[in-house]
Structure 1
């Protein structure tokens, strides 16, 4: 049983233009994850022949804030044509709006019932939008200790609870195991408990956010758990290469990623 492996073009091969990064990832047999697609040559990216597994699915507002949740919905709808042109399967949203460097636009350190209800309703509407266009919206968990302070309802157990409550086939989790390790740990039980709601998995090692095998996470054990559970979806490496932004370092990072998730 094999997985579909993808790599985030935003985080490796940084010395190359984006289109060349995409092409290099594709040529090595990986699918491609993207972040913000605004202002980019979408036709050129599509012409690479790469398969794009995911991209950012909004550019304003907060899923859980009743004052501006409508901005998530309107911006998601504006990005749908790009997703369709690239053949993207999942559009990623976060519990609250991220600004420069992944920081919270409006830092909040306490969640409320109103946030839960707003998140539920917003995700239900995203599910309806996704159903009309054949796209899944994936809610990504984050860590608030290191990378994303001030984002409420960001833990994997919270994003899982929201997605499970929505119970819509076009709303899933983007389960980021790097973030979960920093904020929660117990990754194997997390994967087992959330499997039915997972749309895609993202990985990077801790500390450093580099490729699997460079830190403390036992990714081969997680891979074995996923195989035993019957998971055959996408696992995306959203990580930098420990050797730097050059081509050789990127190639080595992708090889290590493949090895971590290949059968013994």
Structure 2
């Protein structure tokens, strides 16, 4: 008796002879549609996929949501309360909320911005919780001549004022690690070690880090070892090809399947969001390929 085929093998057999398998070795959208099969059903389910809204700003949100849903993406990153109803309409999650930050350069490391930030985050945290979401992004801000100790102390002072509220609503304030070499000159939280030290000083499970793989490859490298050693302080991941922040395929230097395997090995159950700028005119094709690359 022949052994029972698994789902993936059965689908391939069912579509044999219909040009379903192209040169890339993946099933074509046309063949899937003809067989009434969703692309999302072919994903392995180990990685929770998300995508950053700003990378597709020229595409209507409804269109991005529909395409994302079809290819197995479960969430959209970096959208605020006004756009949450659109995500909900398509059954998508808001994996990393925004809207409370002032900008990327005026952050918690400067006391001059604390009153505004505390007001903004105090108003946003309950909204995030009410909508059923968990992560809310924040930033250190630029150094502007401040040494590490001053930056840590100022950030911790401001963030601690929000921790009781965050803990009450089970919302996590998430500081993104941004490179200061290329994209965000003078950003203070530009290395994992800096963010980890801040997390230790804040001392709450409701403050974590967003490990942006693109940014940290530029400023420190050693991506897999860093993830293994510091995963307990990380609650979210972003992707991007290095150099250039474009597609994460073989045109760049990072091998994302190994990075995804390393993330999974830590026991991570959160989201990995694609945050690259497509060079391919067919942006959805690039996004679909990135999901396939990361679907380990």
Q: TM-score range by the shorter chain?
A: 0.7 to 0.9
Displacement of 1:255 in angstroms is: 2.4
Larger Rg over CA atoms: 2
Contact 1:52 1:86 (C-alpha < 8 Å) held by counterparts = no
1:174 and 2:228 correspond: no
Displacement of 1:160 in angstroms is: 1.9
Distance 1:171 1:178 in 2: 22
Counterpart residue number, 1:73: 118
The one of 244, 251, 255 aligned to 2:284:
251
Counterpart residue number, 1:101: none
1:232–1:45 distance in 2 versus 1, CA, 3 Å: closer
Counterpart residue number, 2:94: 52
Contact 2:49 2:73 (C-alpha < 8 Å) held by counterparts = yes
Contact 1:7 1:32 (C-alpha < 8 Å) held by counterparts = yes
Distance 2:173 2:89 in 1: 24
Alignment of 1:197-212 (within 5 A): 197-212=233-248
1:23–1:88 distance in 2 versus 1, CA, 3 Å: farther
Displacement of 1:222 in angstroms is: 1.0
Contact 2:176 2:189 (C-alpha < 8 Å) held by counterparts = no
1:21 and 2:64 correspond: yes
Contact 1:9 1:25 (C-alpha < 8 Å) held by counterparts = no
Counterpart residue number, 1:9: 53
TM-score (norm 2): 0.76
Q: Which runs of no fewer than 5 residues in structure 1 stay unpaired?
A: 97-103
Counterpart residue number, 2:257: 220
Residue 147 of structure 2 aligns to a residue whose secondary structure is: coil
Contact 2:80 2:99 (C-alpha < 8 Å) held by counterparts = no
Residue range with higher mean Cα deviation, 52-61 or 115-124: 52-61
Distance 1:37 1:227 in 2: 28
Residue range with higher mean Cα deviation, 70-79 or 196-205: 70-79
Alignment of 1:103-182 (within 5 A): 108-182=144-218
1:56–1:41 distance in 2 versus 1, CA, 3 Å: closer
1:32–1:134 distance in 2 versus 1, CA, 3 Å: same
1:93 and 2:130 correspond: no
Distance 2:140 2:87 in 1: 28
Q: Which runs of no fewer than 5 residues in structure 2 stay unpaired?
A: 1-44
* Moved segments of 4+, more than 4 Å: none
TM-score (norm 1): 0.84
- Specify which structure has the bigger relative contact order, considering alpha-carbon pairs within 8 angstroms and separated by 6 or more residues: 1
Displacement of 1:59 in angstroms is: 2.8
Counterpart residue number, 2:278: 241
Residue 11 of structure 1 aligns to a residue whose secondary structure is: helix
